[in-house]
Amino acid sequence: MTNLHARCPALMIGAAGSGQGKTLLTAALARLHRRAGRKVQVFKCGPDFLDGTLHRQASGQPVYNLDLWMLGEAQCRRLLAEAAADNDLLLIEGVMGLYDGNPSSADLAATFQLPLAAVIDAQGLAQTFAALAHGLHGFRDGLNWHGVIANRVGSGHHVELLQQSLSGALPLLAALPRDARLQLPERHLGLVNAAELAELDAQLDIAAELLADSRLAQLPPAVDFRAGAPLADFDGGRPLAGKTIAIAEDLAFSFIYRANRQCLIRLGAELVGFSPLADQPLPACDALWLPGGYPELHAALLSGNHRSRDSIRTAAQAGLPILAECGGLLYLLDSLQTADGEEWPMCGLLRGRAAMQPRFQAIGLQQLSLDGQTLRGHSFHHSRLDTDLPPLAHCIRRRNGAAGEPIYRHGAITASYLHGYFDSAPQLVADIFNGELAG
């Protein structure tokens, strides 16, 4: 197979910090260029599930994650090159502040020489806006700066002040006004899923119109994306060939990387979805994936939906391999206590209970090493688990090498708070769904 080389306009949207408005700006930009007849592919930096739901609705295309540690540089390069060959514009939304994290959004921008624009919340700022902008610009060499974007400006005069304070080397690409119609609701794990926002299309259209006369309406500079030979599907063949994997898919279980689905398909699996929230029984399958999501927001309904619970319990007791990640883990416990103090019976397949907490109990990149393979991913949750189940192993935190989330193995159930990126350890993933993981 030949190497891939493609050239395409691209822009990374970074920010001075979280909460500056880069998600809305990226989605609005995707909608603006889509309305102009362009095919737009959006990526999200880091291990994020929620922002991508907005970008998918804005662009009309599935969204992929990019992370130099979780995916590795080769796979990031391959994803970008493949997208460049099939799209008119690539948009990459950063994570947190531009230089935050290891790897950071700036690391990704430097690696692929992506044109870069930073969003800065201009509310309450005049000349200090330029100080922040030039501070971001000068903090690190080797970045391909395209300009800055002002968010939440108060008036035309405010925009003039911001423009006058910037040097010509760092142009103001656009300015979005303070507008209640552009506010996106949040909850404890981030933005609300796009599927729950009835007015989202109207919001995106409004934001796109506000950008229509800005420099962002023009295509950014093109980038040459070169990837080596395509990543091998998997050296071990198709270990999931002939297997049907059921996936819980609804608002309670929605934290699913598109790349994970594609990994399972490359490994030979057929995927079938079902909804515990709709009380659908488990479909005929050879394995079950219960991904993360928000079971705590739907605990009463999940607790009362006996067809789903009973079918999963019966299958698990018969030895069906199950992978339960974060929210999926909560669903398999004896009970789940919600933020209001109510406690709801769950599936009762894993001894223990979880209780929601007001603050994050874990957040960050982690990896799991088992059977000579390393599955990379991340953890972020507000619940606290109380169980006497002995861990099979512990993840290791990327930040400091300390022990992280425990991995539980009970019968053919593998459960943890870890959200894994399957392509980092395909054989380990295949072993889990084939029921061949030792434990």
Give residue limits of the domains in the chain: 4-227, 244-433
Q: What is the structure's pLDDT at 1?
A: 46
**CA 314 to chain CA centroid, nearest Å:** 32
pLDDT of 235 reads 66
Q: Which residues contact 255 (CB under 8 A, 6 or more apart)?
A: 49, 291, 292, 293, 325, 326, 327, 419
Distance of CA 323 to CAs 48, 65, 350, 413, 437, Å?
20, 21, 12, 6, 11
Other C-beta atoms lying within 10 Å of the C-beta of residue 159: 17
Please give the torsion angle defined by the CA atoms of residues 159, 211, 203 and 10, in that order, rounded to the nearest 10 degrees. Answer: -120
Give the CATH superfamily of 244-433.
Class I glutamine amidotransferase (GATase) domain (3.40.50.880)
Measured CA to CA, the distance from residue 362 to residue 197 in angstroms comes to 27
Q: Which CATH superfamily, name and number, covers 4-227?
A: P-loop containing nucleotide triphosphate hydrolases (3.40.50.300)
User: What are the beta bridge partners of residue 121?
Assistant: 151
Give catalytic residues, as residue numbers.
Answer: 326
**Cα 330 to Cα 346: distance, rounded to the nearest angstrom:** 8
**Using alpha carbons only, how large is the chain's radius of gyration in Å?**
23
Q: Do domains 4-227 and 244-433 have the same CATH topology?
A: yes
Going by DSSP bridges, is the β-strand pair 172-177/115-121 parallel, antiparallel, or unpaired? unpaired
pLDDT at 234: 62
CA torsion, ordered 259, 260, 262, 268, to nearest 10 deg: 160
pLDDT for 75 equals: 93
DSSP letter assigned to residue 125? -
Relative to beta strand 419-420, strand 373-381 is antiparallel
Under-70 pLDDT residues of the chain? 1-2, 187-190, 194, 229-235, 438-439
Residue given tokens 């430097």 in the structure block:
110
Q: What is the DSSP letter of 209?
A: H
